[in-house]
Amino acid sequence: MKKDLKRRDFVNKCFKAGVTCCALVYGNPALAQDPIRQQPQKPDPKNLNYCGYKCSAECPVYKATIENSPELKKKAYEEFKMKEKYNIDFDPDRIFCYGCKQKDKPVSVTVNSCSVRRCAIGKGYDCCIECNKLTVCDKELWKSLPQFREAVIKMQKSYKNA
């Protein structure tokens, strides 16, 4: 039995198919035909955090800070295990983060305790990808996140080779 497709349903399905195709083509550089998008770009240390990470606006701590939401701060406090890692009790005024490079904002407990940040600042770097000792660095961050460490070392290679 053949079912008639109403115009509204047809337009809706076409729209969804078009959006999906655009997301696949433009969201995935391997599928994109734009040669500029396919070339790896040299990482810019000024646009990265000291560790090489680029914070997301969706970070739970950052989002809780911007929205100044005690509920979101409590959730982030628990998710990031701040009691265990930094030995601080929950206090909405102490749970915040504006990132590690904000000059005009207060520094959070988590950012202040980052040994990679302290090291990069001490050496005058915008990011640790500028450091020649990155591959032998034994900071706690690299020990606890070995896959991230490898990604940063790979980023350093593209930074130095570009």
Percent above pLDDT 90 for the chain: 69
Give the per-residue pLDDT at 6. Answer: 66
Tokens read off for 103: 């000059």
Q: CB under 8 Å, gap of 24 or more: what pairs does 96-99 form?
A: 96/61, 96/64, 96/65, 97/59, 97/61, 97/62, 97/65, 98/62, 98/65, 99/49, 99/55, 99/62
pLDDT (tens digit per residue) in 42-93: 899 999 999 999 989 899 999 999 999 999 999 999 999 999 999 999 999 9
Read off the tokens for 30. 């391997």
Q: What pTM did the predictor assign? A: 0.69
Confidence grade of residue 40 (pLDDT, cut at 50, 70, 90)? low
pLDDT at 41: 80
In whole angstroms, what is the distance from residue 138 CA to residue 153 CA?
13
Cβ 129 vs Cβ 155: under 8 Å: yes
Read off the DSSP letter of residue 97: -
Q: For 130-158, what is the mean pLDDT?
A: 94
Specify the pLDDT at position 76: 95
**Structure tokens that stand for 74 in this block:** 């409590």
Specify the pLDDT at position 30: 39
